[in-house]
Amino acid sequence: MADPQPPQRAARIAQQDEADLVVRAAAGDRAAFGVLVERYAGVARRVARAVLGSPEDADDAAQDALLSALVKLDQYDPRRPFGPWLLRIVANAATDRRRRRTVRRVEPLDAGLTAGGPRPDTTTERRALGERLRQALGELPERRRMAVVLFDVEGYTHAEIAAVLGIPEGTVRSEVFHARRRLRALLADWKEEV
Amino acid sequence: MKEPLPFDHRPDTMLGEALRRALDPGDAAPFVARVLARAAEARVASWDAVLARWARAGVAAAVLVALATGYLVGRASAAPTPRPSVYDALMAPPAHPGEVEIVLASVIGN
């Protein structure tokens, strides 16, 4: 199943609509909670994966966050957008899970991947690029990873990301800038090779 | 490659799309189903916890009410009956009036 609601569109969903869904979900309406989960499953899983790397860990963290959000729905302020409120819970869940991991393997970016190396055949190009980007993301500080994913992938504004990460808006801009510089360089190398 | 402006406020669509593909979590349906199933379990568990809390409170209240009722009933049955005064004993109708008549008749007869 594809994302039922692309995040860029999700960000534009009428706030009142989401506030109504939240009220219904908090009152025990499972269908309303289901709509919220479907709407935000994609972005929650991507953000968690940006933090954790492993898709399995990311799904566990995203699930924990969504269930935690269900419990805390009565704390949500319906005058504010729902997405950043939820993603803050997701970011915290992913960060907590990463901290709990007893052993965290930080593998440096493969020299062959950063500096070119043998060109992969065409059938694996996209997969290899994805692997490169994930590795490059993994080398970035956690907050920088989330900032660039929320901005360039999910389409959130600097102000919204600041609310998600609990940092000043200017810091978000800086984090996005530094992350982009690193990732764009990697993409440029990739294009030159291909 | 052109160095981006430090505070570029526009999302980079090319980088964003590449990252989106790299972080693609795959099919959402099983994930959504799993979350909803866990949510349903959590809801049932929370209701059980609520009922268990109320059950404990209910048992405690019932015990208190039973103790209070027992105390009041016991106290009421153990209370002593007031003893009749001399006046009451003299003025009360005789329990066996025949005996008085017999005594009087025998006195008069003698």
**pLDDT score at A106:** 46
Query: What percentage of chain B exceeds 70 in pLDDT?
Result: 63
Exposure string over B44-74, b if 16+ CB within 10 A, otherwise e: eeeeeeeeeeeeeeeeeeeeeeeeeeeeeee
- Between CA A187 and CA A146 the distance in angstroms is 18
The answer to whether the Cβ–Cβ distance between B25 and A45 falls below 8 Å is yes
Residue appearing with tokens 């869940």: A93
User: Is there a contact between B25 and A50 if contact means CB atoms under 8 Å apart?
Assistant: no
Tell me how far the alpha carbon of residue B23 is from its chain's centroid: 51
Confidence check: pLDDT of A4 > 80? no
pLDDT in tens, A90-113: 999 999 999 887 544 544 444 444
Q: Predicted ipTM?
A: 0.76
Residue A41 touches chain B, beta carbons under 8 Å: yes
Answer for the pair A68, A89: CB distance below 8 angstroms, yes or no. Answer: yes
Q: Round to whole Å and give the CA distance between A61 and A76.
A: 20
Structure confidence at residue B109 (pLDDT): 59
List for chain B the helix, strand, coil content (%; round to 5): 70, 0, 30
Please give, rounded to a whole number of angstroms, the shortest distance from the CA of B58 to a CA of chain A: 25
Please check whether residue A49 touches B, CB under 8 A.
yes
Per-residue model confidence as pLDDT tens digits over B23-39: 988 889 999 999 999 99
pLDDT of residue A111: 46
What is the per-residue pLDDT for B62? Answer: 86
Q: Can you tell me the distance from the alpha carbon of A33 to that of A187, in angstroms, rounded to the nearest whole number?
A: 38
Residues contacting A175, CB < 8 A, separation 6+ = A141, A143, A144, A147, A148, A167
Most confident of A87-91, A128-132, B93-97: A87-91
CB–CB contact B22 A66 (8 Å): no
The rounded distance, in Å, linking the Cα atoms of B12 and A180 is 9
- Name the DSSP letter for residue A78: T
The pTM of this model reads 0.66
- Domains located in chain A, CATH noted: 1-105 (1.10.1740.10), 112-194 (1.10.10.10)
Domain ranges of chain B: 15-109
Preferred mutation among B20, B21, B46 to probe A, highest tally of A CBs within 10 A = B20
Classify the C-alpha dihedral A82-A83-A84-A87 as positive or negative: positive
Residue contact B18–A41, C-beta within 8 A: no
| Distance separating alpha carbons of residues A155 and B69, to the nearest angstrom | 68
Confidence of residue B107 (pLDDT cuts 50, 70, 90): low
Length of chain A: 194
pLDDT digits (tens, 9 = 90+) for A14-72: 666 888 899 999 888 989 999 999 999 999 999 999 999 999 999 999 999 999 999 99
